[in-house]
Structure 1
Amino acid sequence: MAGGFDEMFDLIVVGSGASGLSGAITAKRRGLNVLVVEKADVWGGTTALSGGGVWAPANRIQLAAGIQDSIEEAGLFLDAVVNDEGLATAPSRRRAFLEAAPRMVDLMVEEGMGWTCDKGHADYQSQAPHSKFGRNLDSKYFNVKKLGPLAATMRRGPAPFAIRLKDIPLIGRGLSSVRSILQMGYVFTRGKVAKALGQDSVAAGESLAAQLMLIASRLGIEVRLKTPLRELVSEDGRICGVVVEGPAGLKRIGSRGGVLLAAGGFAHAAFRSELQVEDGRYSSAIPEDTGDIVAMANGLGAMTAMMDEAWWGSCFVYPGNVVVFCHWERSLPFSICVDPKGRRFVNESADYYEFGQAMVREGISECWLVMDARHRQKYTFGGFFPGNTPKAMFDYGFFKKADTLDGLAAQCGIPAGEFQQTVQRFNQMVRKGRDEDYRRGTRAYDVMWGDTNNKPNPNLGPIEKGPFLAVKINLGDLGTKGGYVTDGDARVLDVIGKPIEGLYAAGNSTASVFGRTYPGPGSTLGPAMTFGYLAGDHVARRLKNS
């Protein structure tokens, strides 16, 4: 054993999601010997359950699609929307992300990554100066069978067929236009054809995770499952290895270049409820996201930030306690959202992070999506086609239904008087075509998720035609947003702001470079992959120069 270690590598990566695999691939490309350890018995992390979008401004795919952008313009956009969270959101760290993101994309494309530019997707903060369409990368369809034996240990998402991010707004519009009908037909027909051809076709986060693993496998990167990190080993203030627990017990593994922590946040940690208003029961993060890595911060003397923050959103809870993210349903016309007192509290067409933040700000953990009968007649709801709402969903209580608004209020347990006043004012504004309270339908992002054939406002439709429906929306998240603070090279900082030698972090193990905002689609995975890339690159340069 060299130096008391059972094995020795140049870099050890903890976690097999997008941030970890990006760091591992980058380091391997630079000639390093890399090991990835994963505590779960499957690989892919929360990435595999996600939409898979990657926000990477001014990348080659975006520019090739004819969308003009630059690092400078993206920087001005971030200057306008990102709040000050100290070193976590320091201008130098934002700049490091913006400069490295296109290089990360270049490297991955050179290794065979299949992405397309999501040209129709607006930045979430589309009202801000220098916002753009098309900064998000959407993973191409991928046949999981290309992975060979690795397919058996891939984390799989719940989608019954492959849907790309670009498909979702059109599918949500259901029967509202010929284009949306054709897009629904294309997606479902393509899925049936792929299956008939013997393919295991995936898109979105599953495609991203699978493609990254294919690259890692081809490069010869070893990934060990069921191998949780138990301890970081340090020597003279430098992180030089790990203690992991595998099938054969504890093992000390050394690393010449250090350790990259990329094992997610603390969405399902027991200590989360002490820090945040949400306890994780409705989080979309994987069950293994229990904060093991983040909990080590105090013992390491590491700086953390934004431990009270998450990638907020909202969700529906389907029969069987199946949690599904709420997205387009509340943005389309003929719907409003009301709090337990029967009042509106937010622009219903806002992005999911802004919507979740509004719930946190209002101090509510649930609200109601109320729909006029035309909503279900015209639009898709979750996996239900327009006009098709199974009776079992009413029997279970998922959908509340009443011929009158008073009857619906009674079923939802909200004050009928306040609710009636809310609907009356909303309908008055609909007739004007302007939401004077929350400006719904005034941003490019809102319009993208609306019904463009609904005039004059694609997001507004009256609540006046019964039977009326309501579905409970719960506060949820995509994972936590706070953790280790790193610099522009993804090095973990100590409590006084000095890098801890040999320790790197990326993804939801870190405090977000975007602070308490969500600039655009892929704002979790874009920085996750980029800071993973920066970590792998920095380790390689440091070892080369040592």
Structure 2
Amino acid sequence: MRPDSLPDDIDLLVLGAGAAGLTAALVGTLSGLRVLLCEASQQVGGTTATSAGTVWVPGNTPGREAGYGDTVAAAERYLQALAGADTDGARSAFLARAPEAFDFLLAEGGIPFVPAALHPDYLEAPGAARSGRAMAPPPFDGRLLGRDFARVRAPLPSFMVLGSMMVGKDDVQRLLRRYASLRDFLYAARLAGRWAVDRLRYPRGTRLVMGNALVARLLHANLARGTAVRYGVRASSLLRAQGRVCGAQFVLPDGTQARVRAHRGVVLATGGFGQGAAWRRRLLGRLADIRSLVFEGNQGDGLALAGELGGAVETAHHAPAAFWQPVSVMPQQRGREALFPHLAMDRGKPGLIAVLPDGRRFVNEGASYHHFVEAMIAADPSGRTPAWLICTEGFVRRYGLGAIRPGTRSLDRHVRSGYLLREASVAALARRAGIDADALDATLRSYNAHARQGEDPAFGKGHTVLSRFNGDAGHTPNPGLAPIEQGPFCAMQVWAADAASGAGLRTDAHARVLDAHGTPIEGLYACGNDMASVMGSAYPGPGITLGPAMTFGYVAARHAAQAGG
């Protein structure tokens, strides 16, 4: 068989090669099925490849073995408090099967995760966890993929240093301290040396972290175990016989058609509707035109394919239909708008506030990215009003801001490009940004008076568990608060953006797609962003898209393997 041809007779067909699809394919292969993984683009990873790669897995074994004490029962209480009753059983299935799924991936697939010693849930409610519930992928050596390393979608350029070297949160801190100790100097030197050698053979550094590491490790595991992977092929329709989905019709890169029969069924993992214009208008309504961090290839293919067979899209419990992140807009790169997601590295630090154009604060700046944008949308339901991050030049040099990294000595080029505004006075800064100057002055006076005492009675920055975590642990008396009073003063504009789908196909506890009557469409599964989020409209913690995505990729493949032809 040619490497670019499609086998016409297999057991399980998986459409989409993000974390969900790669997991479903790997578990299917490990379960003894003949699996074909088809990706419409030329690279694997989708939105996962540019994500932090964190997975939210209550009661996971690595966390328990590390002594963090998290339980599924505690997570169930937490989700009940945030999202209400579990109406379709999918959430209960996630809680019950997630630890099993990740145990299987480690034991059978060699896919490890490291539990976080401190990575708190995003909201304070009964059952919330501070440690162990979130896990991260360890670094992966991309050289193990050989020529297939080029098949891994690159991370955001702003998440790399030296133009092409990936670094994680821990790496950044040690690089900043590279002259503080011999240990950190040698660590930084090893990273730089590895990158320099890599660039002799590869287009970017091969030491992968975060979502890139997760995608690359899953691809490597699939290839090592014989999963058939094909690129540039898009399914145009699903095949159905005797009431059961049994394959798909494809359009190949040369425009020809091909048919693949899959005896155990089809798994939809095409990444959700995020970049599909018609789907955005239908599911996001007035927010359809906001910016998006979703992979451009995620056009809603899975939802459309299932819809042709009566698959139902769940929207009733998903308001909004997406999950959010604030982004700043960097100078144009190759004629395209470049977005930087403000996740946790700057907003929560002491000496920064966020205001709307009216000059008033509107949120705890140390809250999660999703809840930060929720507050923006509450202020303007169209999502078109930006917020401004206000701080001093000293803050930017110390902590960084957006794509400006900590320790940057000169901010001049960022000021010249317009990415950062800098002025000697608050009044001048307000005029440049179009912010109500009197209101901003009043806001800063009130904020500063309380910040000197380590207090924020207005929004509680530095008082909630998460905002303390996102602050500076070495700053006292409050890790999230410091006065903003010694200029020059700086401002950066941030906008609302969607980063993942909440609405998607209705599924049951086995990840089978349901029709409008709640009846499973036999042989058709959905996972990842093609599947409606089990969190409903809640955003409880870090990794609540990838944790369920991989869990239900596992669930779908195991059910297909056990169901028979």
Query: Displacement of 1:497 after TM fit?
Result: 1.2
Listed as ranges, the matches of 1:289-438 within 5 Å are 289-306=298-315, 308-320=320-332, 321-327=337-343, 328-363=345-380, 364-365=383-384, 366-381=386-401, 382-438=403-459
Query: Displacement of 1:368 after TM fit?
Result: 0.3
Contact 1:53 1:165 in 2 (8 A): no
Contact 1:171 1:184 in 2 (8 A): yes
Larger mean Cα displacement after TM superposition, 203-212 or 261-270:
261-270
2:536 aligned with 1:534: no
Pick from 127, 139, 142: which aligns with 1:141?
139
2:231 aligned with 1:225: yes
1:227/1:186 CA distance change after superposition, 3 Å: farther
Larger mean Cα displacement after TM superposition, 411-420 or 10-19:
411-420
CA distance in 2, matches of 1:30, 1:299: 29
1:252/1:13 CA distance change after superposition, 3 Å: same
Contact 1:138 1:165 in 2 (8 A): no
1:200/1:15 CA distance change after superposition, 3 Å: same
**What CA deviation, in whole Å up to 9, does each residue of 1:464-513 have, x standing for no partner?**
11110000001112222211011111111111111111110001111110
**What CA deviation, in whole Å up to 9, does each residue of 1:307-335 have, x standing for no partner?**
64212011111111221101221111111
CA distance in 2, matches of 1:129, 1:370: 34
- Residue type at the aligned position of 1:412: A
2:92 aligned with 1:99: no
Query: Displacement of 1:429 after TM fit?
Result: 2.3
Contact 2:20 2:528 in 1 (8 A): yes
2:32 corresponds to: 31
CA distance in 1, matches of 2:11, 2:183: 47
Structure 1: 5+ residue stretches without partners: none
Percent sequence identity over matched residues? 33
1:190/1:490 CA distance change after superposition, 3 Å: farther
1:183/1:538 CA distance change after superposition, 3 Å: farther
Query: Displacement of 1:202 after TM fit?
Result: 0.6
1:319/1:187 CA distance change after superposition, 3 Å: farther
CA distance in 2, matches of 1:79, 1:470: 39
Contact 1:116 1:139 in 2 (8 A): yes
Partner SS for 2:292:
coil
Partner SS for 1:256:
strand
- Residue type at the aligned position of 2:326: S
CA distance in 2, matches of 1:258, 1:166: 42
Larger mean Cα displacement after TM superposition, 104-113 or 33-42:
104-113
Pick from 204, 211, 221: which aligns with 1:205?
211
Query: Displacement of 1:189 after TM fit?
Result: 3.5
1:106/1:403 CA distance change after superposition, 3 Å: same
2:243 aligned with 1:237: yes
1:250 corresponds to: 257
Larger mean Cα displacement after TM superposition, 18-27 or 156-165:
156-165
Listed as ranges, the matches of 1:501-540 within 5 Å are 501-540=522-561
1:183/1:505 CA distance change after superposition, 3 Å: farther
- Residue type at the aligned position of 1:326: H
Contact 1:83 1:516 in 2 (8 A): no
Query: Displacement of 1:83 after TM fit?
Result: 4.2
**What CA deviation, in whole Å up to 9, does each residue of 1:362-406 have, x standing for no partner?**
214311000033312421333423352431211111111111111
1:91/1:203 CA distance change after superposition, 3 Å: same
**What CA deviation, in whole Å up to 9, does each residue of 1:117-158 have, x standing for no partner?**
221211222454342312122111111110122112221113
2:3 corresponds to: none
2:192 corresponds to: 192
- Residue type at the aligned position of 2:253: P
Listed as ranges, the matches of 1:43-82 within 5 Å are 43-82=44-83
Structure 2: 5+ residue stretches without partners: 1-5, 199-204
**What CA deviation, in whole Å up to 9, does each residue of 1:168-213 have, x standing for no partner?**
6x579x68x999x999867744421322454711110110000000
- Residue type at the aligned position of 1:329: D
- Residue type at the aligned position of 1:410: R
CA distance in 2, matches of 1:336, 1:185: 34
CA distance in 1, matches of 2:134, 2:434: 41
CA distance in 2, matches of 1:182, 1:118: 26
TM-score calculated relative to the size of structure 2: 0.89
Query: Displacement of 1:297 after TM fit?
Result: 4.5
- Residue type at the aligned position of 2:193: V
Partner SS for 2:301:
coil
1:215/1:151 CA distance change after superposition, 3 Å: same
**What CA deviation, in whole Å up to 9, does each residue of 1:257-288 have, x standing for no partner?**
11100011122111213432434663221111
1:369/1:184 CA distance change after superposition, 3 Å: farther
1:285 corresponds to: 294
1:7 corresponds to: 8
Contact 2:77 2:126 in 1 (8 A): no
Listed as ranges, the matches of 1:17-28 within 5 Å are 17-28=18-29
2:273 corresponds to: 266
Contact 1:37 1:228 in 2 (8 A): yes
1:41/1:305 CA distance change after superposition, 3 Å: same
**What CA deviation, in whole Å up to 9, does each residue of 1:426-448 have, x standing for no partner?**
12221332211211111221111
CA distance in 1, matches of 2:184, 2:51: 21
Partner SS for 2:75:
helix
- Residue type at the aligned position of 2:300: G
Larger mean Cα displacement after TM superposition, 10-19 or 189-198:
189-198
1:383/1:191 CA distance change after superposition, 3 Å: farther
**What CA deviation, in whole Å up to 9, does each residue of 1:31-53 have, x standing for no partner?**
11111111001112211111111
- Residue type at the aligned position of 1:26: V
Contact 1:126 1:132 in 2 (8 A): no
- Residue type at the aligned position of 1:295: A
RMSD over aligned CA atoms reads 2.4
1:473/1:207 CA distance change after superposition, 3 Å: same
Partner SS for 1:35:
strand
Contact 1:483 1:510 in 2 (8 A): yes
1:65/1:185 CA distance change after superposition, 3 Å: farther
How many residues in Structure 1 have an aligned counterpart in Structure 2? 532
Query: Displacement of 1:11 after TM fit?
Result: 0.9
Partner SS for 1:157:
coil
